[in-house]
Amino acid sequence: MPTLRETILAALHARLLALPANALRGEVLPERVPADGLLILRDGEPGEPEVTLSPLAHHYQHRAEIEAVVQGADLDAAFDTLTASIGTALAADRTLGGLCDWVEAEAPRPVDLPVEGAASLKAAVIPVVLHYTTADPLA
């Protein structure tokens, strides 16, 4: 049986799979970026939880990351469309079906990456904070 953490990350990945961009989880950047863009979900860090007693509860602000990459002619518009679609997907259900207390993305910091012999890339890491509570940090 998967842990709550894994269940939440799988739900977030499923939300990204519904977008037009190709969504991967924990993969390396492939040689080719699809025309609609590429998203790679990184599990990130759960960080130190706040702990309450009676009943025992661990309150996490887990920082996952989404790497967003576009390649092609109009990088700015393609990147804007891709990041806006992520925001819309997360805003549609801020609890990922009741698994989290709240899900919130932070603003991306895009960079333009020249590629020798190919079209340039525009990419950013988008931190996504997953707020959830569990009775056991290993459950």
Q: 120 falls in which pLDDT band (50, 70, 90)?
A: confident
Alpha-carbon distance of 43 to 25, in angstroms, equals 8
pTM of the entire predicted model: 0.94
Residue found by looking up tokens 């092609």 in the block = 72
Q: Which fold has domain 4-134?
A: STM4215-like (3.30.2000)
What CA–CA distances, in Å, run from 127 to 31, 43, 81, 105, 124? 24, 10, 17, 6, 10
d(C-alpha 51, C-alpha 5), whole Å: 16
- Select from 21, 109, 18, 5 the least CA-distant residue to 63: 5
Which tens digit of pLDDT belongs to each residue from 34-75?
Answer: 999 999 999 999 999 999 998 999 999 999 999 999 998 889
